[in-house]
Amino acid sequence: MKKISVIICVYNEEKTIKDVVSIVCDYFFDEVIVVNDGSTDKTDDILNELSKNYEFKYIKLEENKGKGFAIATGIENVSGEIIVFVDADLSNLKEDHLFELVMPLVHKKADMILGQATETLIDYSINPFKSFTGERAVLKKDIFPIVDKMKNSRFGVETLINLYYQSEGKKVKYVMLKDLKHLTIFDKLSKQQAIKEFAKEGHQIALIAFKNFDLITSSIKNKLKNLKV
């Protein structure tokens, strides 16, 4: 069995971080890394308290660097061959969900596993944003080549990862995480603040796609090649 590490990146998630970290630490992972991306709420206090009863590596960034930088920092500190990413704003996270994420990769059914929370605003089967999920499992050797690019990707990090895997012709598998709820910015902020944040995140995603047009071209070539086969 390959050594498995999990990375949890968190920014101002005082309502959910305790449950997420405690559940992940109770699972069979060899290593848990929590990256606090400059939180200004009670997240740091909660994590320090959790560290008294749970074993995890805590990395605290003094200022907010963005999700991409936090994920890259986590990857640079993992020792496992398999990396599982779990968002900090989940509700009803269970061990079964972690099992669903890890096992297809362990059994070599795909190069990247993307987990889909079923309790969302948009039905899973028609969700056009399902590839943006934060719940995923990958091999360290596959994702490490783009660590430096991730550092400036902010919220566009999932787009960058997806484009890179497509450009490399990697196989991606989706799994349903039954009853898992992933909070949206509309659950966390006022309507006006959420719309503003949503627009900012959309800009970051578009910017990453524009900066990595070469990956998009390679992805299209791979799809055309597969169609011919």
| CA–CA distances in Å: residue 166 to residues 98, 101, 169, 221, 222 | 24, 19, 5, 10, 8
pTM of the complete model: 0.87
How high is the pLDDT of residue 226? 62
> Token pair of 80, please?
């496992």
Which residues, including other chains, have CB under 8 Å from residue 225's CB and lie 6 or more apart?
none
| Amino acid 196: pLDDT | 80
**Between residues 217 and 96, which one has the greater pLDDT?**
96
Residue 88's domain spans which residues?
4-228
The per-residue pLDDT for range 42-68, each reduced to its tens digit, is 999 999 999 999 999 999 999 999 999
How much is the pLDDT for 225? 63
User: What does the pLDDT read at residue 159?
Assistant: 93
**CATH number of the domain that residue 62 is part of:** 3.90.550.10
The pLDDT tens digits for 195-216 are 887 687 777 778 887 788 777 7
8 - beta bridge partners?
34
Q: Which two tokens stand for residue 211?
A: 């900066």
Q: What percent of the chain has pLDDT over 70?
A: 89
Domain count, the chain: 1
State the CB neighbour count (10 A cutoff) for residue 226: 9
Average pLDDT estimate for 108-133: 72
